[in-house]
Amino acid sequence: MTTDPALLAEATRSITEGSKSFAAASRLFGPESRESAVLLYAWCRHCDDVVDGQDHGHGATPEAGEGAAARLARLEEQTRRALSGGAVTEPAFAALAEVARRHAIPPLYPLQHLDGFRIDVEERPFDTLADLLDYCYGVAGVVGVMMSHVMGARDPAVLDRACDLGLAFQLTNIARDIVDDARVGRVYLPAAWLAEAGVPRSEIAAPGHRPAIADLAARLLDTAEPYYASARLGIPALPPRARWAIATALGIYRQIGLDVRALGPRAWDRRVSTSTASKLGHVAAGALAMRPGRFRVRPRPADLYRRPTGA
């Protein structure tokens, strides 16, 4: 299958500017999976930027209320049109249409992704960890499910593991960005956790609360660990090059969490990211996943998040 070169170039620019970690891992896929992963990322990145009023995750602060709601409504309309074969003009929706057609991705999944953004737009509170995991599914877990389709794996047991990786990534993201998010009014820490730690929601970014915030970040990262472990068990179900890419992405992102944990209260002095040398180390380690292996269906721990019915 061939992709419009201009469309692919725009999607490649999006992933390069939006996420160095995912860009590095995407290069390890085989050619067709790499193209599709880049196309899917371009649509996800575009939706995230439109909702937040940003450019590749940077720049303007989120606009809440009617402005953001109207933008989300336009995204949903354009997404539905792209998925139904209607005419689209923006590259991100052409990218979605192509990758959904190519891999028979059910429309349910992109729409669930937009529902994740809806939680941000409506500023729904996260009272408990269960509330937070529902959000993590919408903005990241379902992306893992779509990526599993891109890689040719559709067994429900494999989709569960792919969802787990998305959840782990998002929990790591939240831990890394707690203070930056709080400064623009975004609070993802469960209210119950904040109450236990004695940190008022309005004071999360205050330097005096850094030790307590570091403890809560560690708690998020502890929550992520079983999902990383579960996701790792699904890697043998993928084609060899995909195994390499996913194992590398898992290693890079988990390393971000390890670095946040190690820095403690200093984790928010600057944004934590993995160095080039560290990324290359995870690329080398990820190559071991290409060794012959067989996926075995194993029960997931009963206390892990369960994807919504029908997903």
What is the predicted pLDDT for the residue at 58?
A: 44
What is the predicted pLDDT for the residue at 3?
A: 67
What is the predicted pLDDT for the residue at 101?
A: 95
Co-location of 281 and 151 in the same domain: yes
Co-location of 140 and 266 in the same domain: yes
Domain interval for residue 74 = 1-104
What is the predicted pLDDT for the residue at 61?
A: 46
Co-location of 53 and 135 in the same domain: no
For tokens 């997931």, the residue is 300
Report the domain count for the chain. 2
Contacts of 244 (CB under 8 A, 6+ apart): 28, 286, 287, 289, 290
Co-location of 183 and 282 in the same domain: yes
Co-location of 98 and 130 in the same domain: no
Number of other CB atoms surrounding residue 233 within 10 Å: 18
CB 272 within 8 A of CB 259: yes
Residues in the chain, total: 311
Co-location of 44 and 74 in the same domain: yes
Task: Determine if residue 198 is left, alpha or beta; phi over 0 gives left, psi from -120 to 50 gives alpha, anything else beta.
Answer: left
Co-location of 193 and 50 in the same domain: no
Identify the bridge partners of residue 58 per DSSP, sorted by sequence position.
55
Co-location of 8 and 78 in the same domain: yes
Number of other CB atoms surrounding residue 206 within 10 Å: 13
DSSP class per residue in 32-65: HHHHHHHHHHHHHHHHHHHHHT-BTTBSSPP--T
Q: At 134, which helix (H) or strand (E)? A: helix 129-136
Q: Which of 74, 104, 134 lies at the terminal end of a domain, its last residue?
A: 104
What is the predicted pLDDT for the residue at 296?
A: 84
268 within some domain: yes
111 within some domain: no
Q: What is the mean pLDDT of each run of 10 residues along the chain (311 residues)?
A: 66 65 76 89 91 60 64 95 92 94 96 96 94 98 97 95 98 97 95 98 97 98 98 94 94 96 96 90 92 84 89 55
120 within some domain: no
Q: Which of 73, 104, 135 lies at the terminal end of a domain, its last residue?
A: 104
What's the CA gap between 245 and 30, in Å, rounded?
9
Co-location of 233 and 193 in the same domain: yes
Co-location of 80 and 140 in the same domain: no
Co-location of 45 and 96 in the same domain: yes
* Closest alpha carbon to 71 in 52, 43, 97: 52
Residue 108, classified by CB atoms within 10 Å of its CB into exposed (0-12), middle (13-18) or buried (19+), is: middle
